[in-house]
Amino acid sequence: MIKQFVRTSLLSCASIAVLAGCGITESITESASATGTQTKGVPKNIIMVVADGMGPAYTTAYRNYVDDPSTPEVETVVFDEILVGNASTYPARVSGYVTDSAAAATALATGVKSYNGAIGVDVNKQPVNSVMHHAKSKGMRTGLAVTSQIVHATPASYIAHNESRKNYNEIAEDFFDVRVEGKFVADVMLGGGTSYFERDDRDILAQFIDAGYEYADSYNRLASVPAGSNVLGLFAPVALPAVLDDKRKNRLEYLTQHAIKHLENDNGFFLLVEASQVDWAGHANDIASAMAEMHDLALTMEYLRDYVKANPDTLVILTADHSTGGLTIGANGDYRWSPEHLKSMSASVMTIALEMANEDNPGEFVAQKLGLSLSEEELATLDSVSNQDDETRFMAVKTFLDTKTNTGWTTGGHTGVDVEVFAFGSGYQSFTGQIDNTDIAKTIFSFIDKKQPVIIDSDSNKVSEKVSTNIELTSDEDDDGLCDFKEDWRCN
Ligand SMILES: [Zn+2]
């Protein structure tokens, strides 16, 4: 069997309208055979799940959090079933070793490392195209389902091009203005963010409605949109509520199910899902929200696991963009972690901290919202902060839970540790072992390319109009098919 490595210009400059110049993303296309028909392990549908901020300590903490303490073992969870490897997350050299969500999302979306703050642009601030642009260029349906505002760093990097993640209004304009061969980049967009789309200076929401998109402004309204529609679903002015405060405790699973309902078609689809608020819990050093957001993600992964069982031509990848907060399971030299104190909460720490100021018995109010019976001393401690400002009350309640659970944190920002990679379904083997975050995008690009027959002439160097040059030819003695590992020696 001959393996051909072909450097492909994914989208021509003319084929995509971008606001500032034209960038061409390149990726390695591995053509499996001279006929170029679909190879084994090439998925029809690709679902990329990003858990923002979910370093390895979060998945371990979650396993402990849902553990049944009456049994001798710690039961495994969905993440344990699907783990395949580990990814490095460092940004472009100019930003050092610790990435932000924008540079990491740009890497995951485009395969190009950039500086912290970059949205779909390289270190020279030139636009680079994402796997979502590429999927659209190949006739796939495309979408996203997130719990942040949809213009936040991770979803933005799959659609927009901007030198700064902070330019939310410009990014929202890109959602309408950036086109792939005249088509919108995303057919389905679910999350928060009406304030960026329904503005006095430009009503992008109205533009999408005029362009034929169904609009849903509530979870329940979303359920009534006919399957196969193009949908803009914006359920909050900015981000969705924290899951502990939301009416739907499975909101990400719900949005994911509905996105898939609208995306399924014969040509396949690409869907980006983001558990956006794991990161925000990490920044706030809030273990209660961290575990609650992880639970919403776990429900989503269980749903996707079942979806792939019924639709084995689908690939699901889950990773984090980085870790947040320096979470530790156990702290201060004490070999104890007590997540059971987090299991009966009926509101987020932030909401409890805001509302306790209006209560006659703030300590009792906090105890009731936490679902815990507290000592007189603990109640008095909470009573004593009720007249303080919002920030002080928040810190008091969250520190109270840190002490109860013996949770540690090292930073209010990100850390540079590698993150786990999870994958299952068609082609999952391509993500095993130690990889880099850019490898995930490169593999998705190659899968999308392989979905369409590639025509190679008798000289083995002309592939199609969109392929510029033939880079390398190697022979492979192995007749079993593609080597799924990055380095060939691992398959010998
Ligand atoms: Zn963050």
pTM: 0.85
Look up the CATH number of the domain holding residue 179.
Answer: 3.40.720.10
Are residue 141 and residue 262 in the same domain, yes or no?
yes
Per-residue model confidence as pLDDT tens digits over 420-446: 999 999 999 999 999 999 999 999 999
Say if 297 falls within a structural domain. yes
Segments forming the whole domain that contains residue 273: 40-328+412-442
Are residue 60 and residue 121 in the same domain, yes or no?
yes
Where is the domain boundary, 384, 405, 426?
405
Are residue 376 and residue 295 in the same domain, yes or no?
no
In this model, does residue 125 exceed pLDDT 70? yes
Tell whether residue 321 is among the known ligand binding residues: yes
Give the pLDDT confidence score for residue 483 in this predicted structure: 46
Lowest-confidence pick of 178-182, 196-200, 314-318, 469-473: 469-473
Per-residue model confidence as pLDDT tens digits over 361-376: 999 999 999 999 999 9
For residue 234, give the nearest of 141, 142, 348, 146 by alpha carbon. 146
Say if 15 falls within a structural domain. no
In this model, does residue 7 exceed pLDDT 70? no
Where is the domain boundary, 388, 405, 422?
405
Burial 308-319 (b: 16+ CB within 10 A, else e): beebeebbbbbb
Q: Which residue has the higher pLDDT, 22 or 92?
A: 92
Tell whether residue 334 is among the known ligand binding residues: no
Are residue 97 and residue 238 in the same domain, yes or no?
yes
Dist. CA 475 → ligand 1 center (Å): 44
Dist. CA 472 → ligand 1 center (Å): 40
Lowest-confidence pick of 94-108, 265-279, 398-412, 451-465: 451-465
Are residue 318 and residue 350 in the same domain, yes or no?
no
Per-residue model confidence as pLDDT tens digits over 247-295: 999 999 999 999 999 999 999 999 999 999 999 999 999 999 999 999 9
Backbone angles phi, psi at 135, to 5 degrees: -60, -40
Say if 10 falls within a structural domain. no
Cα 252–chain centre separation: 11
Tell whether residue 200 is among the known ligand binding residues: no
Dist. CA 426 → ligand 1 center (Å): 31
Dist. CA 192 → ligand 1 center (Å): 17
Are residue 145 and residue 81 in the same domain, yes or no?
yes
Per-residue model confidence as pLDDT tens digits over 467-490: 332 223 233 333 344 545 454 544
What one-character DSSP code corresponds to residue 120?
A: S
User: Pairing state of beta strands 433-436 and 83-88?
Assistant: parallel
Are residue 365 and residue 245 in the same domain, yes or no?
no
Tell whether residue 328 is among the known ligand binding residues: no
Are residue 249 and residue 378 in the same domain, yes or no?
no
Say if 473 falls within a structural domain. no
Look up the CATH number of the domain holding residue 390.
Answer: 1.10.60.40
In this model, does residue 184 exceed pLDDT 50? yes
Give the pLDDT confidence score for residue 467 in this predicted structure: 32
Tell whether residue 274 is among the known ligand binding residues: yes
Say if 421 falls within a structural domain. yes
Are residue 349 and residue 262 in the same domain, yes or no?
no
In this model, does residue 10 exceed pLDDT 70? no
Q: What is the mean pLDDT of the chain?
A: 87
Where is the domain boundary, 350, 381, 405?
405
Instruction: State how many domains the chain has.
Output: 2
CA–CA distance, 131 with 298 (Å, rounded to integer): 25
Dist. CA 267 → ligand 1 center (Å): 35
In this model, does residue 452 exceed pLDDT 60? no
Are residue 197 and residue 161 in the same domain, yes or no?
yes
Dist. CA 310 → ligand 1 center (Å): 34
Are residue 138 and residue 81 in the same domain, yes or no?
yes
Per-residue model confidence as pLDDT tens digits over 83-101: 999 999 999 999 999 999 9
In this model, does residue 309 exceed pLDDT 60? yes
Tell whether residue 479 is among the known ligand binding residues: no
Tell whether residue 154 is among the known ligand binding residues: yes
Are residue 210 and residue 351 in the same domain, yes or no?
no
Give the pLDDT confidence score for residue 239 in this predicted structure: 98
Say if 94 falls within a structural domain. yes
Query: What percentage of residues in the chain have a pLDDT greater than 90?
Result: 83
Q: Which residues pair with 192 in a beta bridge?
A: 149
Dist. CA 320 → ligand 1 center (Å): 11
Say if 22 falls within a structural domain. no
Whether 55 and 419 have beta carbons less than 8 Å apart is answered as yes
Catalytically active residues are: 101
Give the pLDDT confidence score for residue 459 in this predicted structure: 53
DSSP per position, 423-449? EEETTGGGG-EEEEHHHHHHHHHHHHH
Say if 476 falls within a structural domain. no
